[in-house]
Amino acid sequence: MLDAMEKEGSYHHGDLRAALIAASLQLIEEGGVQALSLRKAAKKAGVSPGAPYHHFASRSALLAAIGVDGFVLLRREMERAREEGTTAAEKMGCCGRAYVRFARTHPAYFRVMFRPELADLHEFPELEAGGSSAFELLVQTVREGQSEGNIPEGDSDAYVLLAWSVTHGLSSLILDGPLGADFDKLDVREDQLADLVVGALSKLFQGAAEAQRRGVQLTEG
């Protein structure tokens, strides 16, 4: 994460933008998103307080840039995970586990990507494009599952949102919720919990698809 910085308080000449983002991520990991400001990012990167304004007009613009990078990294990791599956159901499971793993290994990115102050996507079109790219991978996986008969037919949006809600909710509970604070008290590892949750979702989809087929057969009979 901090490869753009040679050490705290310095940056590679000509790569100020990357150094500011790296410094910002470190600030977020240390004190949460509320700890980030352009002035603090400049100080962490070892530049003048006005230097960030050459790249970022505001704190929100800096957060949006971090979010864009986060979505690029998330899609890359989900694409890599998809390759481990042969069927759409397996690919969905791999994507779900990759999503949870991303939240755990890149908490600063994850905490920024869905910030409420970035909700106006018209102000940050590059963030909208990045989020849509990652989201489209899930859409593709769900539609493949429908083609294979492991997800019910019909409008794929509802199933996409269900899959996203489950994986995002688990990620948030582990990262910033009660699971994060008390996880050591549970007799299950995080990756095992992710497997259980994603596996249960896959079985739910498969059961619903089978029920739908039985209903169609009864109607046609």
Rg (CA), the chain: 20
Same domain, 27 and 73: no
- CATH number of the domain that 200 lies in? 1.10.357.10
Distance CA 193, CA 168 (A): 13
Residues near 64 by beta carbon (within 8 Å), at least 6 away in sequence: 118, 123, 124, 126, 127
- Specify the pTM: 0.83
As a residue count, the chain comes to 221
Same domain, 31 and 104: no
pLDDT digit string (tens) for the chain, length 221 residues: 434 343 444 444 458 999 999 999 999 999 999 999 999 999 999 999 999 999 999 999 999 999 999 999 999 999 999 999 998 888 988 999 999 999 989 999 999 998 887 777 678 889 889 989 999 999 999 999 999 999 999 889 999 999 999 999 999 988 887 766 565 666 667 778 888 888 898 888 888 889 988 885 444 44
| DSSP category for residue 197 | H
Domain span holding position 162: 63-220
Same domain, 82 and 44: no
